[in-house]
Every structure is written in structure tokens, then in C-alpha cells.
Amino acid sequence: MSLKPASPSPDIVKLTNEGYEVEIRGAYLLISHVPYVDSSRTIQFGTLISGLKFAGDKIIKPDTHVAYFMGSHPCHKDGSIMAQIQHGSGTTRLAEGLEVNHSFSHKPDGGYSDYYEKMTRYVEVISAPARSLDSTVRAKTFRVIESKPEESVFKYVDTNSSRAEIEAISAKLKGHKVGIVGLGGTGSYILDLIAKTPVDEIHLFDDDEFAQHNAFRTPGAPTLDQLRSPPPKVDYLNEIYSKMRRGIHPHNYSLNASNVDHLNAVDFVFICIDNGTAKKTIVEYLETSSKSFIDVGMGVHVVEEKLIGIVRTTTSVPAKRDHLRTLVSFDEGDDDEYSTNVQIAELNMLNAALAVIKWKKLRGFYQDLGNEHNCTYSINVNQLE
């Protein structure tokens, strides 16, 4: 099922959230895996169908109480036909690839207020005899519903947003193309978070292999065989996240003066590298191109056999650039307090989360009253500022 965010239909979203196998085909709403009893008193499963009423691209109140069914005619548990809903029988083609066997009529006083009421009432009536024979059968299967490429970047429906009723807010992230430069600890966690948003494209830039140490600061768990023949980081991560979404573009090379213009393909960039020369080239290009970006950094040190350090997230937008060079070093690490080799997964996760939260603020997903452009977390004093 996929509904346009501009015209959500809460009643149909509710059907999906409650676990019904919902699908929309053109102007028809389908619920599959509806249990019923046939004439031989055997439990079967059929598909309940209703025509949809539209006002423009918005689904509105049903204009008919009639429903359709794919399967044999539902019966009572003794095998007699459910005459109270019987309307018509015979194969009817509603649309391309959509043929039904029966039509039903069950009209409450005043009709149905929405499709949730209509479909659940029909399911209740049709399924009651089956459930009296076997209480474990049900129409609510919570089966994963596949999304079509033209409907969503996700390969299955984002029921997380619909269950929380924030689809319209999540839609603010659509039509956006994001670049992640550097897929080490923090960059890989940024990908993990961005991949679960409806952005159109995610471009990954990194020329390193997925080495064994990466396994301990990256989401997921690679196999021993994968580490024996390490793939490029971008390919390894692309394989994981392409299982749930489309639009990931791996680029197995580092960015420099000769190819930094490849960032023209994106609207926003997360910079997650320590190389000062490359970072300077990227920052200058993004500033010249009037693109917004976030640079992340982490400095962790050993003091008295304990780790201390600071996690930094610095945002740069066309209207606010003057702070960047006082906070971000373009040296090769020796003089940058936010750039050392000690990396810990939970700090990478935190750095990524702070960066993505700020990006979502810029997109209007989260309210932003502070309008901060730099954020640091100090471990030993537990201070976020």
C-alpha cells in the first residue's frame, strides 16, 4: 500500500497498522488472507475488495456499501451460504489482472463512514464462522507489504511513520539527495539513519575496503568470510541497505580536486573524514556551490587508563559560514583535537545521531528553537552544548 503524503487516508493507514494485508490497485482497495468457510465446511482464505471514491488525489468516504470477493462464496459453519450478504455471483473483471467471483451487500444505517469501518465489518461477518471452527485463524497477519518503485524508495511500506501518524512530517525529507563522504564509524551510522528516511538518493563516497576493525564500529555484523575477502566499504554497506530501499549510489573512490564536482549530484553533504587536505577541498567547493553540509569529528584520548574526549557536530549553511574555520581544522590530524584514531561505536553512533538530528531540523522535521550550528558532547563531564 502506498498513499500520497499530500492526501493521506487515515482509515486505510489504520487497516495496515492493525495488520491487515492491504493493497491498493488503481481505484480498488484489497484485503487478502480473509478467512472464511466454504460449502464443504473447510476453512479457506479469500480477498475482499472495495471500489475507492476519490476527490482529486484524495480518498474520501465510500459511496457504496457493495464489496467484492475473490474465492468461493462464504458460508456458515454448517456449509450453508451466508444469504445475509449475498448479492451477485459470477466472474467479473474489475480491472486488468483483477477478477472477482462474488459481490456482497451489507448496508448499515447511514452507510459506512470510511473504508476502515466498511472493510472491518465485512471481514468480521465473513470470518466469524471460520473463527468459530478455529480461533487461531485471522485476517490480521502483519505480512510485509511490498512497495512499487514508482510509489516509494522503500521496498516495503514504512508502517513506522504511519503508525506514529507522522507521514506528512516524514514527507518533508522526500525529494532530497544526500551525500556521505567517508563511511567509517560515524559515516556508516549516518547511513543507517538516513537509509530509513524517504530521501530520494543517498550517495556514498569512500575508497577503502571494509577491514576487520570496521566491524567493531559499524552497524550490523559481517561474517568471517566477508572479512577474509573484504569488499569496498561502499559496496558492503550498499548491499545491506539496498535490502530495504532504493536510491543508494556507491562511489568507490575518494573525493579530491579532480572529482569534487561529483557532489553536484546531491543537495546536502555529511563530511565524515579526517584527511585535512581532502576536507578543505570539499568544504571550499560546497561553499562555492552554496550547498549546506555538516562536518563531524571526534577526539578521544586515554587519561589515567580511562577514555575522555569530545564529539563535535558542525553545521554550515549559506547564511552561516563564519564559525566553521574556528572549529574545524584542515590539518592532517596532529593539531585537531576532534581527530584521533580512537573510535568507539557508541560515540560514532552519538556523533551520527546528532548530525542527522540537525539535518532533520534544517528540513523542518524537528522544531529548531536554538538554531545552533555547532554542538559538542564532552564525555567525562556529560555535557552537551
* Three-state secondary structure readout of 239-288: HHHCCCECCEEEECCCCCCCCHHHHHHCCEEEECCCCHHHHHHHHHHHHH
Q: How confident is the model at residue 24 (pLDDT cuts 50, 70, 90)?
A: confident
Angle, helices 10-17/115-133, rounded to nearest 10 degrees:
30
Whether residues 207 and 305 share a domain: the answer is yes
pLDDT, averaged across the chain: 90
Asked if residues 2 and 157 have their Cβ atoms less than 8 Å apart, the reply is yes
In one letter, which amino acid is 232?
Answer: P
Whether residues 183 and 313 share a domain: the answer is yes
CA distance 228 to 223: 9
Residue 165 lies in a domain: no
Q: What integer pLDDT is reported at residue 335 of this predicted model?
A: 46
Residue 99 lies in a domain: yes
pLDDT of 201 > 90? The answer is yes
Whether residues 72 and 200 share a domain: the answer is no
Residue 193 lies in a domain: yes
pLDDT of 226 > 60? The answer is yes
Whether residues 75 and 127 share a domain: the answer is yes
Q: What integer pLDDT is reported at residue 1 of this predicted model?
A: 44
Residue 151 lies in a domain: no
Side-chain-side CA neighbours of 186 within 13 Å: the count stands at 31
Residue 4 lies in a domain: no
Q: Domain of 198: which CATH number?
A: 3.40.50.720
Of 335 and 69, the one with more pLDDT: 69
Whether residues 27 and 126 share a domain: the answer is yes
Whether residues 121 and 244 share a domain: the answer is no
Residue 149 lies in a domain: no
Residue 192 lies in a domain: yes
Q: pLDDT exceeding 90 applies to what percent of the chain?
A: 75
Phi-psi region of 377 (alpha: psi -120 to 50; beta: other; left: phi over 0): beta
Which of 133, 148, 183 is the last residue before a domain boundary?
A: 133
Cell readout for 44 is 479457506
Whether residues 212 and 97 share a domain: the answer is no
What are the tens digits of pLDDT across the range 126-173? 999 999 999 999 999 998 766 666 667 888 767 677 566 577 788 899
Average pLDDT of span 202-223: 94
pLDDT of 347 > 80? The answer is yes
Whether residues 191 and 112 share a domain: the answer is no
Which of 133, 160, 184 is the last residue before a domain boundary?
A: 133
Q: How confident is the model at residue 326 (pLDDT cuts 50, 70, 90)?
A: very high
Whether residues 256 and 310 share a domain: the answer is yes
CA distance 248 to 225: 24
Whether residues 129 and 226 share a domain: the answer is no
CA distance 363 to 269: 13
Residue 102 lies in a domain: yes
Which of 133, 160, 193 is the last residue before a domain boundary?
A: 133
**Unique residue bearing C-alpha cell 539527495:** 177
Q: pLDDT exceeding 70 applies to what percent of the chain?
A: 91
- Strand order of the β-sheet with 28-37 is 21-25, 28-37, 43-51, 66-70, 98-105, 86-95
Distance of CA 130 to the CA centre of its chain: 36
CA distance 367 to 319: 19
Question: Domain tally for the chain?
Answer: 2
pLDDT of 334 > 60? The answer is no
Asked if residues 210 and 226 have their Cβ atoms less than 8 Å apart, the reply is yes
**Range of the structural domain that residue 359 is part of:** 175-384
Q: What integer pLDDT is reported at residue 7 of this predicted model?
A: 46
What are the tens digits of pLDDT across the range 33-56? 999 999 999 999 999 999 888 776
Whether residues 207 and 117 share a domain: the answer is no
Q: What integer pLDDT is reported at residue 6 of this predicted model?
A: 36
Whether residues 116 and 187 share a domain: the answer is no
